[in-house]
């Protein structure tokens, strides 16, 4: 297969953190409860279809999107709705489903999916709860089924700290992967792009109906924003769709069985975990039974749904996120450090700055914790964000435009081309400890509300 482009970037950084998952699957006990968290679906206002106590089948809708009622969110297991947890202003935080031993799945007619036209395929994916796997740019929200994207991107090469290896995860499911890709092809007039790492692993060579490209470089080279910029730059009004690699498999699996596939492969990573490994579970699984199988090295740990740069905080008795292929567990850093402001002191703390010898003395296996290592300050230092930001965008200027809510400027500076995750390393590296991802997320919310 021809490679249409080799994307390379020198900007960025590899954070060598201890706790990469060994490529072995560990058996865990099945979870008793599963949770759907509307917050996992950015920009969705949930409207419930089920009440507490009601029975539910795998693949049966639990809630739908208020703005686009055709987008349904389905249960990963069969059982009954155990509880609906609400937060401030009755916002739905979690819908907890208790799973029963017998597994009933909602069945959809899929035998002739290859002959369906675009609208029929869309309807099938919407009805079966498979639509939320498709995200759109700009904004990184769930794709609008009324639109046709100018391209669809799937990238199996990720560069987040301790990220799972999709070559390993997808190894045995290449057939379903191909089916998923073929289905995505029907949704776009133009190309489906498939990104792999620079070695272009053999298993992806035979995938057809795609434009192959390879990616190499430091994090955030694996972020799709960069790939889109290189291959199909997003202009105002354009739509590009993205799908996570394992979700492509799930689409393919659904199209061959007719059943919603809740399977999720997760890498349990982080320097709190003694022997990090992969596990197989279902979306929204309770974390407790999974983590019981792992030995944690510290007393106070932070459990993160996702990676240490962009994940969301969970807790030991929390639930796995809907899209995560990774759980990171690192120790909390709530202790004091004497004279920590002295340059070249505390070189055991991973630092990208040259005011520390950390990278000189030690090349890998850094222990990290959640200490901020300072306090938030005004933006003073310049040029440091650009070093870890490969997009052709001025990151600090965009952040400032978002802070002052200057929509015209945000538009001009490229808000359509970014998602908060692209600013994860900036969060990490910036001297002033500003919350870049939060600022960009608020900026994007503003854009959705004001511009749409």
Which residues in 12-41 contact other proteins (CB under 8 A)?
A: 15, 17
- Closer residue to other proteins (CB): 104 or 371: 371
| Pair 32, 81: CB distance under 8 Å | no
- The distance of closest approach from Cβ of residue 227 to other proteins in the complex, given in angstroms and rounded to an integer, is 16
Task: Output the smallest distance, CB 111 to other proteins, in A.
Answer: 38
* Phi, psi values for residue 353, rounded to 5°: -85, 150
Question: Going edge to edge, which strands form the sheet with 326-331?
Answer: 22-26, 277-282, 263-269, 326-331, 301-305, 312-314
The string of DSSP letters for 207-265 reads: --SSEEEEEEESTTTTSHHHHHHHHSPPPTT--EEEE-HHHHHHHHHHHHHSS---EEE
Interacting stretch for other proteins, rule CB under 8 A, among 116-124, 127-135, 170-178, 351-359? 351-359
Closest to other proteins by CB, 4 vs 313, is 313
Among 53, 69, 87, 340, indicate the residue that binds other proteins (CB under 8 A). Answer: 340
Q: What is the DSSP string of 9-65?
A: E--S----BS-PPEEEEE--PPPSEEEE-GGGSTT--EEES--TT-EE-BT-EEEEE
Q: How far apart are alpha carbons 275 and 268 in whole angstroms?
A: 9
Are the CB atoms for 54 and 48 separated by under 8 Å?
A: no
Residues 319-338 that bind other proteins (CB under 8 A): 328, 330, 332-338
Extract the tokens encoding 159: 């560069």
- Contacts with other proteins by CB under 8 A: the residue count is 76
Q: Alpha-carbon distance 179 to 210, whole Å?
A: 12
Our finding on whether 190 is near other proteins (CB under 8 A) is no
Q: Which is nearer to other proteins, 256 or 373 (CB)?
A: 373
Q: Residue 112 Cβ, how far from other proteins at the closest point, in Å?
A: 34
The footprint of other proteins on residues 419-448 (CB under 8 A) is 424-425, 427-433, 435-438
- Establish if 346 lies at the interface with other proteins (CB under 8 A): yes
Residue 317 is given by DSSP the state T
Binding flags for other proteins, 283-302, as an x/- string (CB under 8 A): -------------------x
Q: Looking at 35-43, 111-119, 219-227, 407-415, which segment touches other proteins (CB under 8 A)? A: 407-415
397 lies in the site for other proteins, by CB under 8 A: yes
Site for other proteins in 236-275 (CB under 8 A): 236, 238
Contact between 309 and other proteins by CB under 8 A: the answer reads yes
261 or 271: CB nearest other proteins: 271
**Residues 52 to 71: which contact other proteins by CB under 8 A?**
none
In the bound complex, what is the minimum distance in angstroms from residue 436's beta carbon to other proteins?
Answer: 7
Taking the least distance from each CB to other proteins, the nearer of 98 and 397 is 397
Of the two residues 141 and 272, which places its CB atom closer to other proteins in the complex?
272
Which member of 147, 341, 362, 445 binds other proteins (CB under 8 A)? 341
Q: Does residue 377 belong to the site contacting other proteins (CB under 8 A)? A: yes
Q: Where are the beta strands (DSSP E) in 100-209?
A: 134-137, 141-142, 151-155, 192-197
- At 303 the three-state DSSP class reads strand
**Of positions 201, 371, 407, 446, contacts other proteins by CB under 8 A:** 371
The two structure tokens encoding residue 92:
């739905």
In 3D space, the residue among 174, 309, 177 whose CA is nearest the CA of residue 243 turns out to be 177
**Minimum distance between the CB of residue 234 and other proteins, rounded to whole angstroms?**
9
For the CB of residue 199, give the shortest distance to other proteins in the complex, in Å. 28
Number of other residues whose CB lies within 10 A of the CB of residue 315: 11
β-pairing, 312-314 vs 301-305, is antiparallel
């Amino acid at each position: 297969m021809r490679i249409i482009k080799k994307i390379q970037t020198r900007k960025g950084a590899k954070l060598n953190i201890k706790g990469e998952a060994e490529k072995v699957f560990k058996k865990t006990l099945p979870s008793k409860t599963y949770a759907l968290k509307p917050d996992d679906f950015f920009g969705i206002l949930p409207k419930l279809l089920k009440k507490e106590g009601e029975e539910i089948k795998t693949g049966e809708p639990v809630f739908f999107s208020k703005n686009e009622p055709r987008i349904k969110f389905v249960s990963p297991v069969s059982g009954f709705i155990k509880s609906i947890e609400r937060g401030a202003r009755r916002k739905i935080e979690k819908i907890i489903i208790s799973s029963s031993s017998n597994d009933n799945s909602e069945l959809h007619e899929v035998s002739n999916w290859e002959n369906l036209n675009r609208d029929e395929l869309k309807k099938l994916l919407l009805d079966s709860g498979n639509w939320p796997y498709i995200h759109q740019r700009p904004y990184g929200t769930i794709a609008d089924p009324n639109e046709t994207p100018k391209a669809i991107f799937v990238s199996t090469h990720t560069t987040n700290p301790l990220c799972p290896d999709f070559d390993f995860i997808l190894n045995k499911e290449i057939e379903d992967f191909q089916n998923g890709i073929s289905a995505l092809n029907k949704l776009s007039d133009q190309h489906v792009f498939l990104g792999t790492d620079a070695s272009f692993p053999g298993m992806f060579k035979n995938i057809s109906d795609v434009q192959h490209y390879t990616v190499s470089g430091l994090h955030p080279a694996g972020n799709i924003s960069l790939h889109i910029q290189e291959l199909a730059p997003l202009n105002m009004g354009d739509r590009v769709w993205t799908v996570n690699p394992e979700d492509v498999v799930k689409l393919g699996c659904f199209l061959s069985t007719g059943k919603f596939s809740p399977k999720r492969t997760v890498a349990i990573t982080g320097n709190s975990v003694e022997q990090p490994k992969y596990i197989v579970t279902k979306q929204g699984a309770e974390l407790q039974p999974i983590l019981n199988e792992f030995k944690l090295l510290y007393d106070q740990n932070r459990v993160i749904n996702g990676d240490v740069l962009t994940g969301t905080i969970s807790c030991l008795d929390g639930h796995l996120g809907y899209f995560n292929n990774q759980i990171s567990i690192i120790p909390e850093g709530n202790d004091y450090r004497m004279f920590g402001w002295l340059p070249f002191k505390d070189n055991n703390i991973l630092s990208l700055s040259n005011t520390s010898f950390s990278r000189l003395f030690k090349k890998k296996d850094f222990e990290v914790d959640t200490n901020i290592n300072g306090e938030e300050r005004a933006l003073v230092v310049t040029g440091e964000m650009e070093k870890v930001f490969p997009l052709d965008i001025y990151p600090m200027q965009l952040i400032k435009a978002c802070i002052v809510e200057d929509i015209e400027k945000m538009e001009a500076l490229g808000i359509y081309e970014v998602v908060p995750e692209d600013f994860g390393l900036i969060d990490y590296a910036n001297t002033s400890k500003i919350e870049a991802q939060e600022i960009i997320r608020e900026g994007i919310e503003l854009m959705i509300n004001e511009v749409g």
